[in-house]
Amino acid sequence: MKGPLFYAKILLFGEYGIIKDSKGLAIPFNAYRGALKTSQKLVGKAKESNQNLKKYYNYLKGLDKDLVSFNVNELEEDVKNGMYFDSSIPQGYGVGSSGALVASIYDKYAYNKITVLENLTREKLLKLKNVFAAMESFFHGKSSGLDPLNSYLSLPILINSKENIEPTGIPSQKEGKGAVFLLDSQQIGETEPMVNIFMNKMKNEGFRKMISEDFAKTTDACIEDFLHGNVKSLFGNVKSLSKLVLKNFKPMIPDAFHKVWENGIKTNDYYLKLCGSGGGGYILGFTEDYEKAQESLKNYKLELVYRF
């Protein structure tokens, strides 16, 4: 048995802001993917994944049946027979490793599932997002449901607010010099502690004001520019966003990268921002000249995501 492939995702814009109802833009990232497989001889990661699926099965049994119900007998049987999630998506890197697993389980075992082929109304998308939020909460406390939604639909998703999400088109890639890239921090990030730091910061009125005014407005402007292909304006806004994150989200940026972050803003060779919740994993980079950014960051591992 081998299930269909589900891809990683990248939240290009909107990290933390979407918790507080500002805009976000997520895109599938096909370089990493996962699928359900079965093996009689489970070793290493496959064995670990199978053990986790046993726990996950017990969690799914307890979910509200009005929201979503599963063929739990078939799921239990498959897990007993050695099912595991075979994935190249790095865990703790902010690219949706648990999201792809959630999408694959929903796809195979959910009753009355909403499929990608039907007309995806706003109601259906919200229902899917709520189902996925409940399913993914098993992995890191509170989930927005966006990672699995992106993985399941394999489409770019524009988050206008918690109650308003829609599939969107992004400009096709050009053969230009500019790029979006991933910078590997070589550290694993944990979502839950980072979100807790953010929630504690939100108790501070000054921080709340910064989020609802500067951070949300700059993020929204970046999304508008990206979707409409306004590259020049985009880099100005991404630079502002990079400064805001460096100033207000220091704990989410691994210590070793504070200087690297500053250097990008100073030289304009590249601008960095958080990829997911931060604390490790990938850092997202934007540059008008990818070769120059590669030279500036030659001591680090970069991965290309999108070309301008």
Q: What number is the average pLDDT over the span 89-94?
A: 88
Q: Which residues pair with 274 in a beta bridge?
A: 283
Q: What number is the average pLDDT over the span 3-24?
A: 89
Q: What number is the average pLDDT over the span 109-138?
A: 92
Collapsing DSSP states into helix, strand and coil, what is residue 180?
strand
Domains of the chain plus CATH, in order, are 6-167 (3.30.230), 179-307 (3.30.70.890)
At residue 161, the pLDDT reads 87
At residue 210, the pLDDT reads 94
At residue 1, the pLDDT reads 55
At residue 191, the pLDDT reads 82
Q: What number is the average pLDDT over the span 68-83?
A: 97
Tell me the CB-side half-sphere exposure of residue 267, using CA atoms within 13 A.
17
For the chain, the residue count is 308
Structure tokens at 243: 């400064």
Give Cβ neighbours of residue 5 (< 8 Å, ≥ 6 apart): 33, 34, 35
**Model confidence band, residue 119 (pLDDT cutoffs 50, 70, 90):** confident
Cα–Cα distance measured from residue 89 to residue 147, given in angstroms and rounded to the nearest whole number: 13
Cα–Cα distance measured from residue 57 to residue 52, given in angstroms and rounded to the nearest whole number: 9
pLDDT 10s digits, 147-173: 999 999 999 999 998 889 999 989 988
Cα–Cα distance measured from residue 236 to residue 218, given in angstroms and rounded to the nearest whole number: 10
Collapsing DSSP states into helix, strand and coil, what is residue 275?
coil
Closest listed residue to residue 231, CA positions, set 176, 162, 284: 176
Q: What number is the average pLDDT over the span 200-226?
A: 95
CA distance readout (Å), 298 to 108, 176, 186, 270: 43, 20, 15, 13
**Model confidence band, residue 181 (pLDDT cutoffs 50, 70, 90):** very high
Q: Is residue 21's pLDDT more than 90? A: no
Query: What's the gap between Cα 12 and its chain centre?
Result: 8
The DSSP symbol for 68 reads -
Closest listed residue to residue 288, CA positions, set 244, 232, 211, 219: 232
- The per-residue DSSP string of 136-173 comes to HHHHHSS--SHHHHHHHHTS-EEEEETTEEEE---PPP
Cα–Cα distance measured from residue 272 to residue 308, given in angstroms and rounded to the nearest whole number: 16
Q: Is residue 22's pLDDT more than 90? A: no
